[in-house]
Every structure is written in C-alpha cells, then in structure tokens.
Homo-oligomer: A and B are copies of this chain.
C-alpha cells in the first residue's frame, strides 16, 4: 500500500530532506527542520505521487488518501491543541505547493484555511483580537477565491478601495473589525456574483478545494513556461503541504521575515534579511511595506531608523541566529529562510538553498572550503560555469560621467544599457529583433519571466531586495535596480517620469545593479577585475582539469585578454580577420582582381610583411604556448564591395574600371557561399595564397624565436578539408615553403600541419586524413551547419520554433547537438586516433565555450577546447567539472 501522507512537527517527522522527490523541496525541508528539533508548525505533506496519480486518473485521488489526510489532520490538531473543523476551537492551516525544484512564486498558496462565518468568531476570541480575526478571514476569502475559484484579486481590491474612498480611509491598518466585517459581506456577495455559488463554509470542502487547486496549478501556463525555461520535467509533479497557521500579525511581539545565512549579493558571511513587525509573510514578499533589517549592523549600514530584529526582539533573534547556524552546518550551504514570530515565539516556515549572484556563489564556495564545510571538488562543482559570464563582462567606468535619473535598491549586480520597454512581450519582441532592452515595471510577477529573460536589465519602482524582481534577476545574473520609488511608470502612455523628466519607451538607459542607479543614456564600460576568490576557485579547477583550454583570437587585444584569462594557447587564429583592415583589404582586392598568378603573387608580396608582423606579435604574446593558425577560409567575394556605391570608391582606390570590378564581383558571387569556393579550395586553386601565409608564419616564427629566445611551434591548420589527397596537396606546399625559409634563415623550423574538421565527409574519412594531419580541430560551427543543413545566418526564421517545439533540446549553435554533430565528432576522433593514436584533437567552434558541450568533449577524450577569450574561464571551470564527471543536460 502506498503511503500518501507524511506528517511533521513536535520535534520529529516521517519525512526527511532526502525525500525531496516525494515531498517536494518545501515539504522535505520542513520535515528535516522538524527532525533537527527546530520549531516548525506541525503539518503534513501529500506526496508528488498523488500528483502523478491525479493527472493519470482524470484529476481524481487515490481512494485511501482521504483517510490518511484525516489522520494527519488529527495529529496536527493534537500538537496544536486545536481541531480542524471545530468551530469553537478551529485549527487553521496553510496549503502550499512544493515541487522537487524551487519554483518561486510559480505555484499557488492559500493561508488561514478553516475559517468560516462561525469559526472567525472563535478565532477572535482565542486571539483576543477581533480585527485580526476578520482581517484574516477576508484575506482567506480573497486568496481562496483567487486560487481555487478563479476570481481575480483585483475584484476584491476594487471593493476595498471603494470602501476606503467612501470613508476617507488611507491605509488597510486604518480599517477596524467592523469595517472588515462589512467588507466580508461584500466579498462573499462578489463570490456569489462571479462564481454563482456561496463561498464554501465547510472546512473540509475548503481543504479539498485548495488541495485540488495546488495540484491543478502544476499545469497552469506560468508553471509550464517556468519548467520549459528551467528544463524541469513535467513528470516530477508537485507535493502539497498542509501546515498549522502561525500568525506574524498578532501585534508588536509578532513578526514575519525572510533571511539568508550569508549575503546573497556578495557572499559575505553575515546574516542577511528583512522582517516586518505585525505582518503576514505575503506582506514581506510583495514589497508593499518597506521592511526592517534583521541585524543591527545591517540597520546601521542601511542608515535606517527603524529598529532591527536584533534590538526589537532580542531573545527571538538569538534563537533565530542559532537556528540559521545549525541549518547552514547541516545543509553545508547558504540557506534562504522564512520565519514567523507569533507573540514572541519563533516558528521556522521554510529553509532552502539560497539563490545568489555568481560573485557570492564563488565567495561562499571558497569560504566554505576554507571553513572545512565542503571540499575543493564540491566547491568547483557548485559554480555554474555559464554564470561566470556576468563576472567577465564589463562594468561601468567609475570615471565616466553619469546622468543619474533615480536611485533604487542594488538588487542584482552588474551593469547594462538598453532601450526602455514597459512590457514583457515587447521586451521579447525587440530582443528578438536584436535590440537591447531594459524592462521597466512597477513590480514584476511570474507573468513577466519571459520578458526578464529577454531584457539586459530590470528596473522596478516598487519592492525590496527580496521582491520578485530582485530574486529572479539575481538568479538570471541580470543587473536589477528594485524599488526606485521616485520613478512613476505610466503603462498607458508608455513613459516613466522622475520629477520633471519624462522618458519614453525607446529611450536608452543604463542600469547599475551594483550601485542601484538608473542612468540616462549609455555609460562607458570597463574590463572586469576578478576577485581573489575567483582566482582561487580557478586554480582549484585547473588542478583537476584534464582538457586544455585555448582561445580563438587573432588581434593583439584578444590574444592578451585570452592569456590573462588563462588560455593555454590559441586554438584558432582566423587569418582572414587580419585582411579586413583598411590598409590590407586594398592589397587583398588587388590580389583577387589580378588577371593571373603573377598579378596575385605581386599583391601577396605586399601582404606578406603585414601578415608576418601580425604573427610575430601573436607569437610573442603567446610565448611558450601553441598557436594554431588557420589558412585563409572565406570565399573571396567577402573582400569585394557589396554595392555599386562602395564599388565606385573601391574602383577609384584601386585604379580599376568600376565595371570590371563589378563584373569580377558578379563572377565570384555565390548562391550558397557557406558551401562555396572557400577553405582549402582556395589553397588548391591559388596555392600562392597558402604559400604566402606559410612564409609569413615561418618567417614570423623565426623572428619571434630570435627576439624572445622562446621556441615557437606554429600549428598550421588547413580549413574545410574533405579528403586526404586535398590535404596532401596543401601540405606539400607548406612543407616546401618551410624548407625554403629554413634555408634562408639558416635555422630549423618546427611546425605541424593539421586540419579543421568541419564537414561530415572529413569526419567519415578521418582515418585517412589523419595519415597526413598532425592534429584535428573540429570546426563545430560549420559542422553543425552541414550536418543539420541549417545556415546559421538564416536560422532565425525557424530555429526558435524548433527549440520551442522540442525538436532540438537547445539551440544547436550554442550547445553541441550530441546526437547528430556529436556522433560525427566521435566518429572523426575515433577514426583519426585509430590511425594516429597520439592525435591532438580540439574543438574550436562556439561550442568550445559552452559547458554542456565541453562536458561532451571530455567524454570523447578531446585534447583541448578553444573558445572566445572572455569565455576561457567558463571553459576552464566547465572542463574541471567535466573531469569530475559532472553530467550536464543540454541547456539553451
């Protein structure tokens, strides 16, 4: 017989944190806290298996569930001294959802359940506070109607506003018990009006209605979207936790609050949180009242005059601090807590591993390792490599002038610039069109999540550090300024106003989430400085990492950045990038327009010293590290003008007839340049180009070696190879050039020749190709294009739909398509190594910087990954995690 219900409370529990799959995170952790002896209001959890049963059986329950719930209610009643359904001594409960993964704000909650027209009087009597009882009752009606009966919140808010206006009342606290009683009559009438039924008075009916609503909410659109965004399987289901109510709104010795055991922004080891005296939990999260600090230190730092919990409720504070320390030690990670104080008695309502910024995550992991709480491997595994991106990107230049429009809470660090948009849909739309936007809202809610994903930064005019906007933005690693109260937002006119300045949507603002500033226009950015903990973590990662990490770079700046970020060489130097600069493209064009080989050689002779100079610089910057140089790859028409106006300028500069230039351009034009006359096809047709490049490489190597005294061993990479015979032809030219340069310089020239494996055929013929190739580098960008027959430049029109429909689990240009492209990489690697067991095999597509793809490369035993310079630390960490055996699902 399945067990459907697990009770907790009174210092023990049937569940435990390891039963998260069954009880959901919330239920499991409540059980764990009960087992740890912490003060938890008694309750019970209906398992996720009931949810599974519910959806498998047309939304019905197991037949024995009701009996188990009855028994559990009785046990909660026994522990609290109340009885569910007893109208003179009612047990009130909360009903909450709780899935295995935290889905903040996505599921629905009902508080104060068990109240009805009769028991509300008993509550008033028991609490000695009639106003509290009727306030609780009206909150219950409002929440229950919203969640269970589908009557929107604003229907009741409108009645409340109307009532207050009619009586010139301002705040909810201005309303008396009588006021609430009258409003409750109106609320109940509204329920009859909109649902056609009386508000349910029977506590059992209320309870089962709420349980059904929680299970039902697992399939609401918000939940479905959230799961899709976070790759949470639908099959997990949610649990339902029913728990005895405790009240933070029973006067000045009551309170409610949230806290983190360490600072989730910086990682500093300090109790961090907010609370409100005489309030229910929803008041804190909603961000309507500005909360107070928990510690005295925090109050002073914030310059607040409102007392901290440390001074207002010193005994409760001390007990709370002990509880937080116990929980952090127990869970070996920073905890995110909810608590309520009912008339001086502390109740722990929730604990879970807290979300944090990347900076904080690194500091906490390193600190906890140093504190002996966790080991180095665990520290490495705790950091999401992709999240490093927010540390590696620029921050605002402190010396740049700032036109600060408004200041709010520094809710999520980092800085970003973008156009103002006032709605989530619009944010998605503009971002889809390649524009950078800042999402500006009064408050955010789960309905805005897609817009927050699309935006560069988030700005709200209301809410605190633990408001929805702040929590979600930190999770996403996006800059956020929350509660910038000076800003008035007018959705109707599409504007935001601060004092006498009005900004319309489309206006550019910069958000400094670290300083909490909203700045007009764009602000200059600075390269980030990486903290001591960051360096420590990376050094630990490097200790366990097996694969090398190289960078794709060709400019001096990129090469220097790559080296400073720990790149162990250049995995891809795209020489064509060196030809696009103004002084060089002229020679390149002369070469392309030359009538014969002699003309091409003359133009190439002028490019030679320029190219050699570039390589000398690269070799010097990367001294002692390998540098892989790819021969000219793009089709030649990329170097020619694209329209008549440009052609006229170019013709004048080159001293040629514009018509001749246009004719040559038309000749070279291609239907599918990606599959055209490029790569080593150029080297086969015009070997003099490859010869010039080889000479530049060898002469540069000789010069750099002489100057620096460090050996240089360039790796020459032949692109787009299909067959051994093709590579042989090009390699012969390179080898001949090496001999010629060696004879001229009188030195020995060390180098290797390899190939970029970027066509399906090259993967299949890798066994033969490796007879000639001394290394392989998988060009997974082009390999993805060819394997999938998807042009990256044209994919925008359908690829999103493909990911959305689940045809691909992720954008295959971001995360390697393991099942297709991945098998080709596997075939290429294994066949290549069958021929040449020590074959050096790397990957140099965008995937080289993607953690999921890096994990796959580790499995295949690749020698190195190569990625863009600023992703080098991400790759180092991901490679370390892969070496530790971390499995990563495909994520977009």
Using CB atoms and an 8 Å cutoff, list the residues of chain A in contact with chain B: 670-677, 679, 681, 684-685, 720, 722-723, 725-726, 729, 758-761, 764-765, 782, 785-791, 793-794, 797-798, 801-802, 805-808, 817, 819-821, 823-824
Is the CB–CB distance between A794 and B677 below 8 Å?
A: yes
Contacting A787 at CB < 8 Å: which of B761, B791, B801, B817? B761
The CA-CA distance from A507 to B679 in the complex, in Å, is 40
Contacting A729 at CB < 8 Å: which of B786, B788, B797, B805? B805
The CA-CA distance from A793 to B726 in the complex, in Å, is 21
A784 → B minimal CB distance (Å):
9
Is the CB–CB distance between A676 and B794 below 8 Å?
A: yes
Is the CB–CB distance between A675 and B672 below 8 Å?
A: yes
Residues of chain B within 8 A of A793, CB atoms compared:
670-672
Is the CB–CB distance between B760 and A786 below 8 Å?
A: yes
Is the CB–CB distance between B765 and A820 below 8 Å?
A: yes
Q: A684-B801, A726-B807, A764-B824 are in contact. Are A759 and B782 (CB under 8 A)?
A: no
Chain B, residue nearest A729 (CB) = B805
Is the CB–CB distance between B671 and A794 below 8 Å?
A: yes
The CA-CA distance from A790 to B765 in the complex, in Å, is 16
5 A-B residue contacts at CB 8 Å? A672-B791, A674-B791, A675-B791, A764-B819, A764-B823
A688 → B minimal CB distance (Å):
15
Q: Which of A684, A790, A821 has the most CB of B within 10 A?
A: A790
Residues of chain B within 8 A of A821, CB atoms compared:
761
Contacting A671 at CB < 8 Å: which of B679, B722, B791, B824? B791
The CA-CA distance from A303 to B761 in the complex, in Å, is 61
The CA-CA distance from A676 to B787 in the complex, in Å, is 13
Is the CB–CB distance between A791 and B722 below 8 Å?
A: no
Is the CB–CB distance between B685 and A798 below 8 Å?
A: yes
Given A676-B791, A761-B819, A786-B789, 12 other A-B residues pairs in contact with their CB atoms under 8 A = A671-B673, A672-B674, A673-B794, A675-B790, A677-B797, A681-B802, A722-B788, A723-B808, A726-B807, A758-B789, A760-B760, A761-B788
Residues of chain B within 8 A of A720, CB atoms compared:
789
Is the CB–CB distance between A760 and B787 below 8 Å?
A: yes
Residues of chain B within 8 A of A797, CB atoms compared:
676-677, 685
Chain B, residue nearest A806 (CB) = B725
Residues of chain B within 8 A of A679, CB atoms compared:
789
Q: Which of A679, A722, A729 has the most CB of B within 10 A?
A: A722
The CA-CA distance from A672 to B793 in the complex, in Å, is 8
The CA-CA distance from A789 to B781 in the complex, in Å, is 13
Q: Which A-B residue pairs are the 6 nearest by beta carbons? A: A675-B791, A761-B820, A672-B791, A760-B760, A671-B793, A676-B794
Q: A761-B820, A801-B685 are in contact. Are A670 and B791 (CB under 8 A)?
A: yes
Residues of chain B within 8 A of A681, CB atoms compared:
798, 802
Is the CB–CB distance between B807 and A723 below 8 Å?
A: yes
Is the CB–CB distance between A674 and B802 below 8 Å?
A: no
A791 → B minimal CB distance (Å):
4
Is the CB–CB distance between A789 and B684 below 8 Å?
A: no
The CA-CA distance from A723 to B809 in the complex, in Å, is 11
Is the CB–CB distance between B789 and A675 below 8 Å?
A: yes
Residues of chain B within 8 A of A760, CB atoms compared:
760, 786-788, 820, 824
